Amino acid sequence: MDGRSGSVCWYDWWGTGDGGDVDTTTVAVGTRVVVRRLLRGRAGPSGGPAMTDVVGRVVARTGEVLRVERRDGELVDVAMADVVTLKQVPDGAGRRRTRPARSVDADTLTRICTRGWPPHEAGRVGDWELRAAGGFTGRANSAALHGEPGRPAAEALAEVVAFYQARGLPPKAQAVVGSPGERWCLDHGWVAAGGSHPGAVVQVADLDPTSNLPDDPRGIVVDSVTDDWLALYGRAGDVDPGVARAVLEGCPVVGFVRLEDAGELVAIGRVAVTGDWAGLGCVEVAATHRRRGLATRVVEASLAWAIARGAVSAYLQTMRHNTAALRLYRPYGFVDHHDYRYLVPPP
């Protein structure tokens, strides 16, 4: 797959050897690269070996495998013996945006969101992602119905039900409004989840690597969840703290924003970077410190942290009726991308 367009690219290679003589021992973890690799067992248009490019950031390296994180957060393991060429590409302010954030399709963005909020357990039904995390948040405890299930809808939905029942969780699906997944659910009697707001809006924004976000000396970003941070995050109150931490800390590149006042934690946020994308969320301000601009400082600290780690696009998920949150993010260029809702089997 070509990391820029999503289409397969073919190259003819008239060199000698099998690619194993390329020196990959000096490439540093964190470097953004384009790797040309052999597709073994496949021929190019002119009869020579077929090749494809993998574009992304090196996240791990062993003697045999180079692990690259693509722009959408997908991890690709490239065998060292299959590497034909490896070149470093610009990072940070030197990078060029290939397309605006709003142009990504809803299925791809849903997968990106899952990588930024990973479940404790995962399964698949075709392209559908089954996500479970002890009941901690709907996003981590629902089946993301993107792509094709690879079998009749009734059979696929029965597998969704069985997955959650086996874990003592209520079966639930997350479907983009207007998508085939939503239609399949409705056609088989599934209904909107209980509550007055059974879904959310996903917003996206383009990030400017050259932007000068204000430096906040009282705001820090740490790489793990502390007890006081978890206590301020209200949605973690009714679940096992270990399960909540597993989800919150599950993304390889994640930061937890802390704003303190006289040693007291008064505002928090979370930012996860997967590939080119940053996911913002968990913004909370202590009740006694609201209306002081602390939420804005949390957002700006999150964006600055993400940009410093190579993010060029950002997303967030919030309730459509949460006008305060929508107002908070609007100055940073966030616009609607799509809505999703939760559906459950008929009683």
Q: Within this chain, do residues 149 and 24 fall inside the same structural domain, yes or no? A: no
Per-residue pLDDT, 88: 83
Is the pTM higher than 0.85?
no
Domain count, the chain: 3
Domain residue limits at 174: 101-199
User: For the domain that residue 2 is a member of, what is the CATH number?
Assistant: 2.30.30.520
Higher pLDDT, 20 or 113: 113
Per-residue pLDDT, 217: 61
Q: Percent of the chain beyond pLDDT 70?
A: 87
What are 277's strand-pairing partners? 274, 313
Domain final position from 89, 114, 148: 89
Q: Which residues fall within 8 angstroms of residue 205, CB to CB, at 6 or more apart?
A: 101, 313, 314, 315, 329, 332, 333, 334, 335
Write the pLDDT tens digit of every residue in 277-330: 999 999 999 999 999 999 999 999 999 999 998 899 999 999 999 999 999 999
Write the pLDDT tens digit of every residue in 242-272: 999 999 999 989 999 999 998 899 999 999 9
**pLDDT class for 137, splitting at 50, 70, 90?**
very high
Domain membership flag for residue 96: no
Q: Within this chain, do residues 296 and 239 fall inside the same structural domain, yes or no? A: yes
CA dihedral 335, 142, 249, 108 (to 10 degrees): -40
Domain membership flag for residue 347: no
Q: Within this chain, do residues 141 and 246 fall inside the same structural domain, yes or no? A: no
CB 270 within 8 A of CB 249: no
Per-residue pLDDT, 1: 38
Q: Letter for the amino acid at 90?
A: P
Q: Identify the three-state secondary structure at position 204.
A: strand
Q: Within this chain, do residues 157 and 237 fall inside the same structural domain, yes or no? A: no
Per-residue pLDDT, 216: 66
User: At residue 151, does pLDDT exceed 90?
Assistant: yes
